[in-house]
Structure 1
Amino acid sequence: MKKKLSALLCLALTAVISLNACTRLFSQDENDAFLKFTADLFRQEVSSSAITLHYTLKYPEKYGVENTPVTLGAYTADPTALSASCENTLAVLDSFRRQKLSRENRLTYDVLRSYLTESLHAVPFALYEEPLSPLTGVQSQLPILLSEYPFYSDEDIDSYLALISDVPEHFASLIAFEKEKSKAGLFMSSRCAQDIIEECSSFASMGDSHYLFSSFQERLETVPDLSKQQKEAYISQHQKLVNENIFPSYRKLSAAMAALKNTGKNQNGLCYYPNGKAYYEYIVRRDTGSSRSVSDLQDLTKSQMAEDLTAMQSVLIKSSKTGESSGGSTVKLTLENTDPLVILDSLKEKCSGDFPALPDVNIQVKQVQAEMEDYLSPAFFMVPAIDDTDDNVIYINEGHLPDDLTLYTTLAHEGYPGHLYQNVYYASTNPDPIRNLLDWGGYTEGWATYVEMISYYYSALDTQQAVLAQRNASVILGLYALADMGIHYDGWSLAETVSFFRNFGITDTQTIQDIYDLILGDPGNYLKYYIGYVEFLELKKTAIKKWGDSFTQERFHKAVLDTGPAPFEIVEKYALGE
């Protein structure tokens, strides 16, 4: 499983134009008025926290953003403010005459309206949300976000240190939120809680060897005109703040989770909670961007898996008839050079012609600290500021990359033509800034998974081996997707999940238990990858049928990339012709 790190705090849209402003003079050009509305909305939302702002903009003053509060924000179980802000913003949005907008502004209008509508669907489920999910939760993301917090000036250093000082209050609100979940009978399973307890304890025990310390010193070197004495003073202050704020906060969170561990009333899927099935349906829509029902997605998954298994069988039958060795179900790739930057350069060259050209950018590949390997994804891409996409960072987790083929396809997922390429290309199209705050996981992770599958054919594997390896990877993701829907929608028990995987040759009970717990703790996460990927395949089939002989890979890829992150209905509408 792979992920893309984005801003820590969820977007809570707030109406920045009062309802009285809906009576604006329509003699003003509709497009100018609409762009002013989205620009005001962007400024309001990107200023909601210092960490959101800093990861979105390098030069906030160019966007009219100033005096942002230095805070991580707080968790709340009260959905009233979110509901009111969404409703008010929708009212302003609906006051625009969509038919008078340009095609680009209609696209922004449609995506924003879909996002706001989906946010309203979330209101009744405020306490169902789980900020402490394994791998993608706050406890895992916050240290990475802090360790990569860019220093452009000494003011940024001061803001970073202030954020560290805010961690205890932020975690206090997080603990209070988890207590509210417990009171409502919505606390996580005891097994998931134990995983969080162990992760927090491990993090807090790392001491002076923690990567927060080394990364801070590295970033100080990027700030111009800092004297040796200033650097030493900052290092001393930073070490004191981390030891007094971050580590104790993780220990307190671990202790709080230990106290709540056995208060969960449900040790199985979401469908066993009151209205849990409806909540899962919301998660599926939100995380996949697909308008299909859960049952339809189950059918789509089974159909794609059948196609993959048939393709694998055809290769094996052909190999047996010709006497050639296909490598069986296990395919290995041996790279002459396993330097990630060399692999990324090769991938960039190989995807040329299938994808639109991309400007050269700087890439750093960093290793996840050994002590954190068990708690972080195999790899992740740090999304750069939208006004500075020249510098990009990919983290790889060697503890989850067992062979050269996995390294190769993982770098395709995170780099070229995956997340790095996707983000830099989209920024080059100069979209409305508000689009960058509207996250559609099915589109972003679906794209990265889709191109990861393509990368098998860019590797040094022969065609038959590539087919076997790629189709096998697709089938495994399909199994995880079916298990996600089975556990959370159909109510599979652990025993039923074990039986399901054993039907496909996965027999190790502990491995299945681990998968079950991961899916329990992060509902819908696997669907972002798999359903998003399959929706891109379905979209390509539609493009081939519609465009006929004029279809090319590059044309298709450019069309969906130009459209940008959105629900798939909107992507199809604009990429294949409004």
Structure 2
Amino acid sequence: MHKFFSYKRAALFFLCPFLSFFASGCQNTSTVQDENSAFRKFTHTLFCQEVSSDTLTLHYTLQQPQIYGIKNAPVTYGSFSSNTAEAMASSENLLHALEQFHPNSLNKENQLTYDILQKYFQTNNALAPYLLYQEPVNPTTGIQAQLPVLLCEYQFSNTKDVDIYLELLSKTPEYLQSLSEFEKAKSDAGLFMSHAVAEDVVAQCRSFLEMGDENYLYTTFQERLSHLPDISNAEKESYLSKNKLQVDTYVLPAFQNFADAISALKETGTNDKGLCFFPEGKAYYEALVAHNTGSSRSIKELQSLTKKQITQDISDLQKTAESFSKEGTTAASSDITSAAIEEALSDPAAIMNDLQTQCNTAFPEGPNVHHTIKYVPESLESYLSPAFYLIPAIDNNDDNVIYINRKQTMQGMELYTTLAHEGYPGHLYQTTYFAASNPDPVRSIINFGGYTEGWATYTEMMSFYMAPISKTQAALLQKNKSAVLGLYALADMGIHYDGWTLKDACKFFRNYGISNDNVVQDIYELILSDPGNYLRYYIGYLEFLELKRDCIQKDGENFSQKDFHKTILETGPAPFDVLKKQLGLTARAVFIIAL
């Protein structure tokens, strides 16, 4: 899933402190109606201030910002600050402003929003002291990787959009300069990235710079212009010339300067291992994982939970394989390889239709929205995921697009389950279902990766059993996928919390049959460059399994999987403690259930 403004999500640290005074008079409100009205004004102000703080966030969040009272927002990318004290003060001010309200005086919807914001701000507070530990630059999800894609996916509805976009390009040098200064502050504090990661980042920038006339900021601009109605050929030619001038004058030199800045700092990295080798790295990792996953469990508890699930998956995998063998079914004769099945698993549109139909059994009916399957432009294939869902603006959730990257050559069950993750019953379904409930707009700007990626992973696992293959084959594939993700999650925690070296990682994976040290080195370096990323997916997935287990235990024979999913979907992205409260749960799960 691409939530394209997540790159600048500095945990809402840098909102103006005046918000703390906005709610200061609310504590003496005389009526419940006044309290609810004041709270919605507070969240509206918070929403408008955040989405208008940079042009990319505004563009990707709202199609018609004027309806929300946002007019003439400045054209800017925003900037990076290395002032830890300011980050801590801003974060504390937000929590203080929120806590001026009395949650018991709020209606049910506002109470839920209050609970979610409170948890979010609390995890932000825990992260704030470690501002310089945060890394906005890495080879997979770093700004140098995302920004060009953000720009080339910037769609135009009218010529005003084009004018704003072209003006934004001129702001690229100052934005990347602020990022360079942030990285210099990290270096001065002894917290700069490793030499290897810095080399990868510089190489990525060089690759972007060496694209020449095939650079996708040229090629996609022409395509985006072609969708504008009532624009003359002369206007198109003028815009094409302006775009080339802006890219050549501002964007490319800015990336060159940024690459030079990182290259100059690459020898200053003091740590080529996990976060725990930094002075306060272990504490930072704890705060980061809590923020990324939405789970209140400690790292040790998460490790224990992960090990239990891996053990269960491997046990189930062995039993299923034995059953598969006893049935006398071989890979050559199984229906997974039949021509009819392969054909059914090769057409993305047909797969999406099948998944949408299959969802009706275990999931509540979602809104009737339009979706389109598109293919990533050839010029972008090397830079994008195998598939992704492009989240629509919150005021136009009928326009849903899933992109497929043909360079990745996905097919069969891999394509089927990937489309389940990105489409139904994954991201597209969850996003549009929640949007149809008309939630407080502020809910759209707070990111709970554990919920969103956990839900998509949880439903991806369920999709194995929706596919046109036998249940035995589905179980083999699903248990294997779950176990592998679990190994990656354990490695993430082992590397960044327990201090695993590459040698330790090789030994760990070898115990599970992964003996190619080059493969393990790639995994190790990927985890090093993006701490906690795998936990969003895997821990979120496990937390949903735990919630289901608790509900089964609570409701017994009255448990309804569809009702369980309905409550999760209606609540929307939230920390898992809040979801537990919405489900009427109090106790944690103590054993693992099957899907």
Which category of TM-score, normalised to the shorter sequence, fits these structures?
over 0.9
Which of 186, 192, 198 lines up with 1:187 in the alignment? 192
Retained in 2: the 8 A contact 1:563–1:575? no
Q: 1:577 Cα deviation (Å)?
A: 6.4
SS of the aligned residue for 1:22 comes to: coil
Partner residue, 2:132 = 127
What is the TM-score with the length of structure 2 in the denominator? 0.92
SS of the aligned residue for 2:231 comes to: coil
Measured in 1, the distance between the counterparts of 2:322 and 2:159 equals 65
Retained in 2: the 8 A contact 1:316–1:328? no
Alignment of 1:330-369 (within 5 A): 334-336=342-344, 338-369=346-377
SS of the aligned residue for 2:8 comes to: coil
- CA gap 1:43/1:402 in 2 versus in 1, 3 angstroms: closer
Alignment of 1:70-219 (within 5 A): 70-219=75-224
Measured in 2, the distance between the counterparts of 1:77 and 1:104 equals 36
Q: Which moved more, 1:374-383 or 1:424-433?
A: 374-383
- CA gap 1:336/1:89 in 2 versus in 1, 3 angstroms: closer
Measured in 2, the distance between the counterparts of 1:274 and 1:375 equals 34
Q: 1:70 Cα deviation (Å)?
A: 0.5
Partner residue, 1:394 = 402
Summarize deviations over 1:381-401 as a string: whole Å, max 9, x none. Answer: 221111101112223334445
Q: Which amino acid aligns with 2:192?
A: F
Measured in 1, the distance between the counterparts of 2:542 and 2:300 equals 15
Retained in 1: the 8 A contact 2:36–2:105? yes
Q: 1:201 Cα deviation (Å)?
A: 1.1
SS of the aligned residue for 2:229 comes to: coil
- CA gap 1:227/1:383 in 2 versus in 1, 3 angstroms: same
Summarize deviations over 1:167-210 as a string: whole Å, max 9, x none. Answer: 11111111111111111111111111121112111111112222
Partner residue, 2:25 = 23
Partner residue, 2:8 = 9
Retained in 2: the 8 A contact 1:478–1:530? yes
Partner residue, 1:560 = 568
Partner residue, 2:385 = 377
Which of 533, 538, 546 lines up with 2:546 in the alignment? 538
Measured in 2, the distance between the counterparts of 1:181 and 1:17 equals 29
- CA gap 1:327/1:447 in 2 versus in 1, 3 angstroms: farther
Partner residue, 1:575 = 583
Summarize deviations over 1:53-76 as a string: whole Å, max 9, x none. Answer: 111111111111112111001111
Retained in 2: the 8 A contact 1:535–1:568? yes
Partner residue, 2:592 = none
Measured in 1, the distance between the counterparts of 2:576 and 2:502 equals 32
Q: Which amino acid aligns with 2:309?
A: Q
Measured in 2, the distance between the counterparts of 1:330 and 1:80 equals 61
SS of the aligned residue for 1:355 comes to: coil
Which of 431, 456, 466 lines up with 1:458 in the alignment? 466
Measured in 1, the distance between the counterparts of 2:379 and 2:513 equals 32
SS of the aligned residue for 1:323 comes to: coil
Q: 1:16 Cα deviation (Å)?
A: 4.7
How many residue pairs get aligned? The number is 577
Q: Which moved more, 1:370-379 or 1:321-330?
A: 321-330
Q: Which moved more, 1:335-344 or 1:568-577?
A: 335-344
- CA gap 1:485/1:577 in 2 versus in 1, 3 angstroms: closer
Retained in 2: the 8 A contact 1:16–1:40? no
Measured in 2, the distance between the counterparts of 1:167 and 1:407 equals 36
- CA gap 1:58/1:402 in 2 versus in 1, 3 angstroms: closer
Summarize deviations over 1:99-151 as a string: whole Å, max 9, x none. Answer: 11111111100111111111111221111111112221111211221112121
What is the TM-score with the length of structure 1 in the denominator? 0.95
Unaligned stretches of 5+ residues in structure 1: none
Relative contact order: is structure 1 or structure 2 higher (C-alpha 8 Å, sep ≥ 6)?
A: 1
- CA gap 1:16/1:104 in 2 versus in 1, 3 angstroms: farther
- CA gap 1:287/1:18 in 2 versus in 1, 3 angstroms: closer
Q: Which moved more, 1:505-514 or 1:218-227?
A: 218-227
Retained in 1: the 8 A contact 2:7–2:136? no
Measured in 2, the distance between the counterparts of 1:415 and 1:390 equals 14
Partner residue, 1:291 = 296
- CA gap 1:236/1:342 in 2 versus in 1, 3 angstroms: farther
SS of the aligned residue for 1:8 comes to: helix
Partner residue, 2:558 = 550
Summarize deviations over 1:306-365 as a string: whole Å, max 9, x none. Answer: 111111111122223332336899976723462322321221111123212223333333
Measured in 1, the distance between the counterparts of 2:100 and 2:524 equals 46
Measured in 1, the distance between the counterparts of 2:336 and 2:273 equals 35
Which of 271, 282, 287 lines up with 2:287 in the alignment? 282
- CA gap 1:379/1:140 in 2 versus in 1, 3 angstroms: farther
> Is it true that 1:55 corresponds to 2:60 in the alignment?
yes
Q: Which amino acid aligns with 2:537?
A: Y
Measured in 2, the distance between the counterparts of 1:401 and 1:184 equals 43
Partner residue, 1:512 = 520
SS of the aligned residue for 2:373 comes to: strand
- CA gap 1:65/1:548 in 2 versus in 1, 3 angstroms: same
Alignment of 1:266-277 (within 5 A): 266-277=271-282
- CA gap 1:21/1:180 in 2 versus in 1, 3 angstroms: closer
Measured in 2, the distance between the counterparts of 1:413 and 1:164 equals 33
Retained in 1: the 8 A contact 2:422–2:428? yes
> Is it true that 1:480 corresponds to 2:479 in the alignment?
no
Partner residue, 2:456 = 448
Unaligned stretches of 5+ residues in structure 2: 587-595
Q: Percent identity?
A: 49
Q: Which amino acid aligns with 2:61?
A: T
Retained in 2: the 8 A contact 1:315–1:326? no
> Is it true that 1:37 corresponds to 2:45 in the alignment?
no
Q: 1:235 Cα deviation (Å)?
A: 1.2
Partner residue, 2:72 = 67
Measured in 1, the distance between the counterparts of 2:463 and 2:296 equals 28
Measured in 2, the distance between the counterparts of 1:21 and 1:153 equals 38
Q: 1:89 Cα deviation (Å)?
A: 2.4
- CA gap 1:532/1:23 in 2 versus in 1, 3 angstroms: same
- CA gap 1:401/1:496 in 2 versus in 1, 3 angstroms: farther
